[in-house]
Amino acid sequence: MCLALENLPLPGQHNLWLIDVLNHWNSPPISRIPLLHDVGKKIIQKLISFPISLPNIPSDSLTIKFLGSAKRGNIPPSMGLLLNDLLQPGFHNVWDFINQTSESGVTGKDVLASFIIPSTLLDMTSPERRLYGALDIPMTKGGLKVCKYEVSDYLQDKKYLISDRAWTTTFTTSGAITHTHMDYYGRHQYMVHLFGHKLWLLWPPTEKNLECFAKFHTQPSTSNLTLHCLDELEGLQLFYTTTEQAFVLQPNVLHACMSVGTSAHTGTWVWMLPEYKVSLQMVEWGLKWMMGKVSTDAPLLDYKGEAETIKSEIVAWQNLLKKNHESDDAIAAYSQLEKLEYELSELQKLFKSRGKKRKRDREE
């Protein structure tokens, strides 16, 4: 471990493995992107002197469950295969980490070009500057699909419903910070880290964390959101990943990601009957949260996509329970699901009546 003088440990700093990470963060290319460098540096410094010890891998499965080596064919993942996917036309869910926005019409080539700019020594503070990441690159025939990834053996059982959508890959470069958020409602995210160094900050969806985070959920994040979460949320765990490995991100784990190097992970979704209690509780949380939003005069358009996501969770559970209709878990889950179906129909009515009111208001 090479320690720059300014990064030598001080009294009260105990998560010393992060000093190496801080050294990377404080070096080019990241040190050349002031906006991201500053925020990330503050986050890592806070983690180094965090009042509790934070190993580089969680020791339990509250946030992440490790599955060891990924199940795949003989061809290993490579940057070249990933680029074949990225350079296909289509929606790759591109995000600009400097301005914290998504832009339409950004191509795979634009994403790659932005990865190279920090090494040109051009001014990274000029207003036209972008640092893109592609958050959902579908696997294609000439790309990572040739690796033939599959979910681990134990998930190949009818108690588990695997998404039939193509696996998608997240590709980000050094300095990218995805601020704290949570994805979906109750589904598990099966992931394979492919390459590069990435630091995950993870918080379990405890009652306190959900209550505290509800106001930020789906909202555009400010650059201090993750620092704020470090102060406010409980149960922080870290995961520093550098090599190919499979893991499951538990439902609604709050997470932030820092790309220390250019890095990629790929994945799919799994609905797990044995975990139905936790999962359906999160669908319920989502419905309540959404009801709260749609009952106020919050712009409907902001929540339509999220309402569709909740509906897709319910459809997945209907399919999973149908496949397992004779099992005790499915019978117990079914009565909970009926309640959620009812709440969803109430939510849809509310959407409709607010839509009609808006139309009337416009006509008057």
Ligand X SMILES: O=C(O)CCC(=O)C(=O)O
Identify which of residues 268 and 324 has a Cβ nearer to ligand X in the complex.
Answer: 268
Out of ligand X, Fe ion, none, what residue 170 binds, judged by CB under 5 to 8 A for its kind, is ligand X
Q: How far is the CB of 293 from ligand X (least distance, A)?
A: 22
How many angstroms separate the CA atoms of 167 and 142, rounded? Answer: 14
Out of Fe ion, ligand X, none, what residue 114 binds, judged by CB under 5 to 8 A for its kind, is none
170 binds ligand X (CB under 6 A): yes
Site string for ligand X, 180-209 (x = CB under 6 A): ---x--------------------------
Give the interface segment with ligand X, choosing from 47-55, 170-178, 273-281, 283-291 (CB under 6 A): 170-178
How many angstroms separate the CA atoms of 69 and 61, rounded? Answer: 17
Site for Fe ion in 93-112 (CB under 5 A): none
Identify which of residues 130 and 255 has a Cβ nearer to ligand X in the complex.
Answer: 255
Binding residue (CB under 6 A) for ligand X from 178, 241, 250, 252? 178
Number of residues that bind ligand X (CB under 6 A): 7
Give the interface segment with ligand X, choosing from 30-38, 168-176, 202-210, 289-297 (CB under 6 A): 168-176
Q: Do 193 and 247 contact (CB within 8 A), yes or no?
A: yes
Binding residue (CB under 5 A) for Fe ion from 136, 183, 284, 329? 183
Identify which of residues 101 and 348 has a Cβ nearer to ligand X in the complex.
Answer: 101
176 binds ligand X (CB under 6 A): yes
Site for ligand X in 229-268 (CB under 6 A): 255, 257
Q: How far is the CB of 95 from Fe ion (least distance, A)?
A: 11
172 binds ligand X (CB under 6 A): yes
Q: How far is the CB of 65 from ligand X (least distance, A)?
A: 15
Q: Which residues bind ligand X (CB under 6 A)?
A: 170, 172, 176, 178, 183, 255, 257
Q: Which residues bind Fe ion (CB under 5 A)?
A: 183
